[in-house]
Amino acid sequence: MKKIAIIGASGLAREIWDLINAINDQKLQWEIIGFYDDAYATPTQIIGDSICHGSISLLNDVKEELSIAFGIANREVVSNVFHTLSRKRNFNFPNLLHPSVEKGFDFKMGKGNVIATQTVFTTNVEIGDFNFFNTCCGIGHDSKIGNFNCFMPRVQISGNVIIGDFNNFYMSSMIVQDKSVGDKNTIFAATLLTKSIKDNRTYFGVPGKKIPNL
């Protein structure tokens, strides 16, 4: 088995723990060595028999080959931690897909993606690195998604949609076909995007309207 550590120790990190165990139920692959989170100064039991060992900096002492999973929704934080940890050549960042995930023909992805239960990718979909897809997301044909995006439960992306980097899509938000989304946008829950948007915007409503950034 390959050893894996989870960065973060909150509710989302526990969901990643559960996802890894679902993978192991199908085929034993991972030994979870525990959680690492700067909020914990001393070892603390988090879930099952897994503990948070303490600060992320403790990983600097690890010399053996180790896989890293991120249980953090904030993609800016994930990016910063990744760029720190990536300096250690013994660390790698695998894709973690729940066994129920459906992938259509010619699906491509980079590294470090986490894809939760019942998410569906149809044909000719490409995703980059370190994206997080929560439960029951749907990504349509010929869509292309960049890096460090976060998709909360039941986000629905229609066909031929292009998405950049560091975007946050909250629960049940949607994009109609043939649109593009730039970088660092926030799409609030239950919002329907019916037009392409640029960078650093916040949208809410049906149809989605630009509102002041919070």
- Gap between the Cα atoms of 180 and 14, Å rounded: 33
CA 182 from centroid of its chain's CA atoms = 18
Spell out where 17-110 has E strands.
Answer: 30-36, 44-47, 50-52, 66-70, 91-92, 96-97, 102-103, 108-109
| Segment (H or E) for 83 | helix 75-85
- Gap between the Cα atoms of 195 and 118, Å rounded: 27
- Gap between the Cα atoms of 62 and 160, Å rounded: 43
Report which residue type is found at 203. Y
- Gap between the Cα atoms of 142 and 125, Å rounded: 5
Q: Which two tokens stand for residue 147?
A: 């890096």
- One of 53, 83, 98, 141 is an active-site residue; which one? 141
Active site residue 98: no
- Gap between the Cα atoms of 161 and 125, Å rounded: 10
Q: Is the dihedral of CA 88, 91, 95, 100 positive or negative?
A: negative
* Catalytic residue set: 141
